[in-house]
Chain A
Amino acid sequence: MSHSVAPIEMGQGPGAARHIRQAAIFVAPLVVLFLSWPLLVWAFGVDARVFPGVKAVFAAAVESVSDGSLLAHVAASLGRVAAGTLLAVVVAVPLGVAMGVNAGISAFLTPLFRFFSVLAGIAWIPIATLWFGYGFGAITFVIFNAVFFIVAYNTLLGVTAIPMRLRHAAASLGAGRLAMVTEVLLPGALPNIVTGIRTGLGFAWRGLIAAEMIATNVGLGYMLFVARDFYRTEVIVLGMIVIGILWLLIDRLILAPLERATIERWGLVQRA
């Protein structure tokens, strides 16, 4: 190790090297899992109807990508998550803010929101299918519930955590009701809102897969469910891999950086 590469790395900023290392630490166990899979299947002579080999899954991937079915399932699932989440956030944030500024409303609704946050996602599926039938409505409702209660609750927490003196300062500078919301309460609660969306989406994604097994005819959950009927374990495993990777991508590439950015920029450390 006499020829250090440190000066070159420094040129790109020490952050780049750290990111690469973190990514490596994160990916390593997944690589080990992936490599041991064919070994285990071969060593124990596992029947393909119990668990598929790598080759079969790869073939299934090629097939479902080339005939467009995988894309259709992914698009359907992502579309539902996006619609349900967007709707939930649009309703939850104003409600959370309203609750946060009114101590009475907040005290009354907080236990309810805690309760429903626990039920997030899957527990709503039976009643959702009763109310909305099988299809888009029921699934969106499940996602909506998974995101809505957690985001509303987090918004409420965020608003109540804003120091009173900041609201006082804004008011004495002439901020009215609307400006108080847009200039102080929303930005002040934003880190909590983003955290809420991240947590809620985690539940929503799980709830989505479960709901799609029951209540639709397209989507990743449906893909798993149908494959089971035909003993197509390679399709099931492919679906599971896609579900996991999609979530990791959404969470690691969009939600986590967004959360970090708001928390850092908003200087939460300073709030104490």
Chain B
Amino acid sequence: MKSLTLRNLHKTYFDPAVGTRVTAIQDVSLEIGAGEFVAVVGPSGCGKSTILNMVAGFLPATRGDIIVGDRSVKGPGRDRGVVFQNFALLPWKTVIDNVGFGLKMRGIPKPERDRIAMEFLELAGLSQAAERYPNELSGGMQQRAGVVRALANEPDVLLMDEPFASVDAQTRMTLQEELMRIWGERRHTVLFITHDVGEAVFLADRVVVLSKGHVLREIPITIPRPRRWDALTEDGEFKRLSAEVLQMVRAA
């Protein structure tokens, strides 16, 4: 695993409605250690997705540096695995071929990548669905596939933009716990975007509150791991931290 550093990041968009450039990200610096799980929260439009898209290499930064390990980010690359809110599975590929896609891009032969993909599908409880097409799966199953597709490619950093926002509350809690279990084994460096304060506190080592394009506060989450929802919902420390973050977000 590698560290992720954002240094004095700026982003301005040209807004055709106003006819001028508007600032979306203003001087954001962030240091995410190797194997650290950082969640970014903030109100809608504060620039969370903009940050993630720049780190993923989908969007050029106006100013500033993004560094993975010791290499500066130029464009999309397999060192940064991305999990999308709307899954973004390729509809014309089966689940196993979606999960093995990154391996295929590395030239790993079919039997080998099927074996690896199958391991990851088992990890996500999806081995039964390997030969199905994405549109034949429930939202929760599709997102499990989305997560292991990123993991199977062995990225150094995992980038997730509200990955569980489009599944029902019940499934979301299960997915969060599964993510914790998998992350506990592999310790990826994670940048996790969400507007769900409880989710951020449950998952992260540190929560970053973003406001109007800049970092408002960073709050370390000291709750011991492994974390499980049935134990945490009544936990005093969890409640206190959630309330603190929530207050911050509402003031943002």
Contacts and interface: CB of A to CB of B under 8 A. Distances in A.
Interface in B78-102: 78, 80-82, 84, 86, 88-92, 101-102
B241 interface: no
A265 B92 contact: yes
Interface in B208-230: none
Determine the main DSSP class of B at the interface with A.
loop
A166 B134 CA distance: 13
Contacts of A187: 90, 92
Most chain-B Cβ atoms within 10 A of its Cβ — which of A172, A174, A179, A269? A172
A267 B102 contact: no
A174 B92 CA distance: 18
Interface residues of B, number: 27
Contact of B133 (A169, A173, A174, A265): A265
Given A183-B101, A267-B134, A171 B76 contact: yes
Contact of A174 (B102, B134, B135): B102
A268 B134 CA distance: 11
B75 to A, nearest CB: 7
Contacts, number: 72
Nearest to B59: A168
B96 to A, nearest CB: 14
A163 interface: yes
B71 interface: no
Contact of B77 (A170, A174, A188): A174
Contacts of A176: 105
Contact of B91 (A172, A175, A271): A271
Interface string A228-272: 000000000000000000000000000000000000011111110
B88 A166 contact: yes
Interface string A148-188: 00000000000000010110111111111001000110011
Nearest to B84: A165
Given A168-B56, A183-B90, 8 more contacts: A165-B86, A166-B88, A171-B76, A173-B78, A173-B149, A174-B78, A265-B92, A267-B133
25 contacts: A163-B88, A165-B86, A166-B88, A166-B90, A168-B76, A168-B84, A168-B88, A169-B82, A171-B58, A171-B75, A172-B56, A172-B57, A172-B58, A172-B80, A173-B105, A173-B149, A174-B77, A174-B153, A176-B105, A184-B90, A265-B92, A265-B133, A266-B92, A267-B133, A268-B91
A169 B81 CA distance: 9
Contacts of B250: none
Contacts of B88: 163, 165-166, 168-169
B106 interface: yes
A166 B92 CA distance: 11
Given A169-B88, A173-B102, A270 B134 contact: yes
Contacts of A171: 57-58, 75-76
Main secondary structure of the interface of A (DSSP, over half): helix
Nearest to B136: A267
Nearest to B82: A172
Given A173-B105, A174-B106, A188-B92, A168 B82 contact: yes
Contacts of B150: 173
Contacts of B81: 172-173
Contact of A270 (B75, B82, B135): B135
A189 B17 CA distance: 31
| Most central of A168, A169, A171, A176 by chain B CB within 10 Å | A169
B134 A172 contact: no
Which of A165, A176, A187, A269 is the most central at the interface, judged by chain B CB atoms within 10 Å of its CB?
A165
Interface in A59-75: none
Nearest to B81: A172
Contacts of B133: 265, 267
Interface in B104-152: 105-106, 133-135, 149-150
B134 A169 contact: no
A170 B91 contact: no
A120 B84 CA distance: 42
B166 to A, nearest CB: 13
B82 to A, nearest CB: 5
A174 B134 CA distance: 21
Contacts of B82: 168-169, 172
Contacts of B153: 173-174
A173 B106 CA distance: 9
